[in-house]
Amino acid sequence: MLFFNKGRDNLSKKKLKLKKKFRIILLLIILIVIVVLIIPKNNKEEIKEKVKTTQVVNNSITLTMVGDLLFESPFYKAIENGYDENIYFEEVNNTYFKKDDITIANMEVPIGNDNLKVSGDGYSFCAPKSIGELVAKQSFEVLATANNHLYDRSIEGLKSTLNFFNKNTKIKTVGTYTSETDRKNYRIIEKNNIKVGFLAYTYGTNQKIDNEYRSIVGRYTDYDTKKISESSKAIIKEEVEAIKKKSDIVIVIMHWGNEFTYEPNSEQKEMAAYLNELGVNIIMGSHSHCIQPMEWIEKENKTLVIYSLGNFVSADNDLDRTAPGNETFDNAYQFGLLVNIKITKDKNNIKYDYVKTNIVVNYYDTKENNYELVPFDKYTDELEKTHYRYSKGLTKDFINNTYTKVINEQFR
């Protein structure tokens, strides 16, 4: 009986030991679960906070810049003959525009309304609403409207253009305005915690602007003398200084220079130096209908100057304003520069991560049909030899030689 009681006591002691071990094991399991569930969560929060902090001090933005959107009669005729205009931008829109943060171009033609006659030649332009709709389908964020064609259909054409883009698209227009109050409503786009401000000016217009509407057009020359003046520079200074206070990056789009020349003139050089002095970050130029050089100005500030992007959209196969018998600029008219820029903001400073360029060829076949904007690296031998102007000297060698001659190697 005594032996039995001792055995039962031993069994009870073993059970107590097992219970203690079980409790210890259970406690360890609970601790492990806490470690697994809670510590990673804290790590995740810490990682999120680090990422958030990094984004604040190290943000990047990508820009794409192209030149004149110059829609002309042959393009309209191709559409009338059954050409699908949606093909035109497809390659560049998918390859470049949709992949960046901001795409910028110069809208060279007014968008008309039911009262305005369509015109794509005679150096006097007015595009139908369908062209506005085509442009609106692409991934453009900013269109400059300050150019020599802005008043081709007087104030009605100017207002019709702004009304179309303001009411039907999210595209910001800059350079012409609905009122003086609208002009002070500075065009600024914020992406990735970076604010980019836009201004635009033209050397003049084909048609004289009525006095009452001069204040709603960005112009860098005097209306009477047609020269750069202290009064015109004072307006630009006021606007640049105002937009700089609201922006991290300031881009000024200039319609300037001489047509059909690869070199900037003295007026372009003077204005580029002045905009550099004011602290403009990028100057985007157009009007020459052919590409012009790019350079850095690093005197007062650091400014990237693109003197001219040349044409992006065009359709004139034989220019009556170029030297007879000289096909050089008739061929240069058929391609333009596409510039990609990546900028990083570190606190209050900006850094250019890269500035890259490509050529885009305005292709149309021997029947002046099947228009397509083709990046040069995708411009095949077949496209080259079937281009309307191939027989007149528009070859890949001509395009590449012009590009390497005009654009400095650091930007190629």
Q: 6 and 138 share a domain?
A: no
Tens digit of pLDDT for each residue in 248-284?
999 999 999 999 999 999 999 999 999 999 999 999 9
Q: 28 and 168 share a domain?
A: no
Cα dihedral 187→71→125→81 (10° resolution): -140
Tens digit of pLDDT for each residue in 26-39?
666 666 655 555 54
Q: 18 and 138 share a domain?
A: no
On the question of pLDDT at 110 being above 80, the answer is yes
CB atoms within 10 A of CB 296: 14
Give which of 253, 256, 285, 282 is closest to 343, Cα–Cα. Answer: 282
β-strands 349-363, 102-107: how paired? unpaired
On the question of pLDDT at 363 being above 60, the answer is yes
- Chain centre to alpha carbon of residue 212: 32
Q: How far is CA 73 from CA 41, 57, 77, 229, in A?
A: 64, 50, 6, 37
Token pair belonging to 250: 């300031």
DSSP H or E run through 4: helix 2-57
Residue 312, domain CATH: 3.60.21.10
Query: Among 159-173, 182-196, 313-327, 386-400, where is mean pLDDT lowest?
Result: 313-327
Q: 181 and 281 share a domain?
A: yes
Q: 34 and 75 share a domain?
A: no
pLDDT at 405: 98
Q: Tell which phi-psi region holds residue 293, choosing left (phi > 0), alpha (psi between -120 and 50) or beta.
A: beta
Q: 381 and 294 share a domain?
A: yes
Q: 37 and 137 share a domain?
A: no
Query: Among 2-16, 292-306, 382-396, where is mean pLDDT lowest?
Result: 2-16
Q: 38 and 67 share a domain?
A: no
On the question of pLDDT at 4 being above 70, the answer is no
Q: Running DSSP on this structure, what letter comes out for residue 227? A: S
Q: Place 122 in a pLDDT band, splitting at 50, 70 and 90.
A: confident
Q: 30 and 118 share a domain?
A: no
Q: 289 and 406 share a domain?
A: yes
Average pLDDT, the chain: 90
Q: Of 11, 31, 54, which one is at a domain's C-terminal end?
A: 54
pLDDT at 33: 57
In which residue are the tokens 């692409």 written? 138
Q: 17 and 160 share a domain?
A: no
Rg (CA), the chain: 31
- pTM value? 0.86
Strand partners, 120: 125
What is the residue-wise DSSP string for 345-368?
Answer: EETTEEEEEEEEEEEEEEE-BTTS
Token pair belonging to 303: 């400014």
In which residue are the tokens 């999120």 written? 48
Q: How many domains does the chain have?
A: 2
Q: 93 and 140 share a domain?
A: yes
Q: Running DSSP on this structure, what letter comes out for residue 323? A: P
Domain of 33, in residue numbers: 1-54
- Chain centre to alpha carbon of residue 392: 32
